[in-house]
Every structure is written in structure tokens, then in C-alpha cells.
Amino acid sequence: MTGYFALLVFGLTALGLGAGLLLLNRLIAPRIKDPMEGYTYECGVPLYDKTSHLSLEQKYYLLGLLLVLFDLEAAFVLPWAAIFRDIAQISPGFIFTEMFIFLFILILGYIYAWKKGALKWQ
């Protein structure tokens, strides 16, 4: 039970320290409202008209989704490849098939993005 008690003490200490620092900030921090606080600032270019709102084009969102897709691929495939010899002793066919299905689904997503023209930059 000492392991769980140490974990409980660590959690309570972390929560207490976080709450204490937030309270200290609330008590000490200056309360001066910045006149530029609500000013729209997007992509490093300040806007001259506060009422206009520029929306980003769809290709930026699609590019972000593709980045997430392929980052997830790397996050799953690299550790799997690093420990494949160790886990292949259990059931090599099942483990290899499982990763093949995962990569096949990602390749289908890549082909779909390619066909839709998401990888073409104008």
C-alpha cells in the first residue's frame, strides 16, 4: 500500500502546488486591462479593420488533417518496428497482419487525399 500512498501524496502535492500558484498569481498580478487584448492578430499580420474576420482556406485544414494522419502513422509504426522481434515470438502472423491492415487503411487515406488534390499546392 506504500506505493499507492506515495502516488496519492504526489497527486495531492501537485494539485496543491498548482492551486497555490494560481491563487498567488490572482493576488499579486496587476489588473491593468490591455487595450490591444481583443485585437485580432492572425498569422503574424495585424488586421487594419477590426470588424472583418478572415477565414483560412480549406486547404490549410486539409493539410493539418493529413499531418495528423501521417504523424499518427509514425507514432504507431516506429515503436511497433522497434519491438517486433520481441512480440513476434507470441504470434508473428497475427501481429504482422494487424499492422498490415493498419497501414492499408492509412494508404487508402493517402490515395483518397491524392485523388482529391489535397497534395497539390497552388
3-class DSSP assignment, residue 93: helix
Encode the chain (122 residues) as per-residue pLDDT tens digits. 678 899 999 999 999 999 999 999 999 988 887 776 666 665 666 666 555 566 667 777 777 888 887 887 888 888 888 887 787 787 778 888 888 898 898 888 888 888 877 777 76
Q: Which pLDDT value is given to residue 103?
A: 86
CA gap 122, 119 in Å, rounded = 10
In the DSSP assignment, the letter for residue 68 is H
User: How far apart, in Å, are the Cα atoms of 40 and each of 51, 52, 64?
Assistant: 9, 9, 22
Return the ∠ at Cα 64 (arms to 109 and 108), rounded to 5°.
5
Instruction: State pTM to two decimals.
Output: 0.46
Closest alpha carbon to 59 in 15, 122, 11: 122
Contacts of 41 (CB under 8 A, 6+ apart): 47
* Grid cell 487503411 in the structure block, residue: 105
Q: Which pLDDT value is given to residue 49?
A: 59
CA gap 74, 63 in Å, rounded = 17
